[in-house]
Amino acid sequence: MKTKIYNTLNKPYIVVFIMLIAPLLGFIDRNFVYFFGIGIAFFIFWRSKFDRSKFGLDTKLNWNTLYKSLKYTFILFIADYIIIGPILYSIFGETDLSSFNDIKGSFPSYLILMLMMWVFAAFGEEFLNRGFYMKWLAKFLGDTKKSWLFASIITSIYFALGHIYQGISGATSVFFWSVMISAIFMKHRKNLWLPILIHGFFDTIGITLLYFDKIGVITKWVSQIYQ
């Protein structure tokens, strides 16, 4: 039975059905959208005897990847906090981060959120959105440069809609951030560790700023300069 299910799920086109079905579960609970997709992805990973190439994990984690991830994180930080963020703030207003208010000044909450972020956001979301959705969608569409570009846009919209609870400004910011990290994965298609680490380091900065209640200071300050 498990083999039959795996053989069905192992088809490239199955990613389209998963991406269409998952959002419907959001009417029950928005977390189901994530856990349904990641559950399918890990089932395929497990039944393939942990074939890393299926999800872009061909390259093992190494020091060169760590160095590149720090370099890209710095670039994304400048792009998001200095350029994109202030522009979106001026147009749509402040990002709604009220769901993270509990960690402000609370070190235990900060540590718990940091751990959850590295497991479920950095690794989990990249494994799902880049390693599964984006890679498999690009493969299904022909595995060409155009198909990878199209897959990066579709999955970035998909990812942004999952953050709509942060308001228009937050979801739009997530879209542009996702496009940038997808471009990095397009360049390093066999190294999913790269976007995983970038995601983790980038969110580490954001969570730390939230803890000190300074998350919007840079954005507001730069937006005032633009004006």
How far from the centroid of its chain's Cα atoms is residue 214's Cα? 23
In this prediction, the residues of the chain whose per-residue pLDDT falls under 70 are: 222-227
**What is the predicted pLDDT for the residue at 226?**
60
**What is the predicted pLDDT for the residue at 227?**
62
**What is the predicted pLDDT for the residue at 7?**
83
Give residue-wise pLDDT tens across range 109-126.
999 999 999 999 999 999
